[in-house]
Amino acid sequence: MKNQPKNIEQVIGVISDTHGLLRPEAVVALRGVELILHAGDLGSPEVLDALKGIAPVVAVRGNNDKGAWAEELPPWEVAEVLTSTDYADYPDEENERTALTSLLL
């Protein structure tokens, strides 16, 4: 349809409390996402590595994440996701409007 804004979407996967086990069902659910947010309690560096094999990851340290690998994770993080809508068919509007959404993990 003419004069409809074209939305640019980013698919984000959110997961938490894996506790050292990345279940096959979670891997299937995360396939195709462009970014993974892990909200803590990864449980092992292997889980983090496996998630990084699916998509870029923003992860935070949970209260059960211990050891040198976990010390590298921040206790909290702000992930910024850019969304955009193209208004090129609307001469009275700006060509593109963007919104920056911040997510606190």
pLDDT given for residue 10 in this prediction: 77
Residue 67 has a pLDDT of 94
In CATH, which of 1.10.287.70, 3.30.420.40, 3.60.21.10, 3.90.180.10 is domain 6-75?
Answer: 3.60.21.10
pLDDT digits (tens, 9 = 90+) for 56-88: 999 999 999 999 999 999 998 888 776 555 545
DSSP the chain: -TT-PEEE---EEEE---TT---HHHHHHHTT-SEEEE-S---SHHHHHHHHTTS-EEE---TT--SHHHHTS-S--EEEEEEEEE-TT-TTS-SEEEEEEEEE-
Distance of CA 87 to the CA centre of its chain: 26
The predicted-structure confidence for 13-61, as pLDDT tens digits, reads as follows 999 999 999 999 999 999 999 999 999 999 999 999 999 999 999 999 9
Cβ count near 37 (within 10 Å): 20
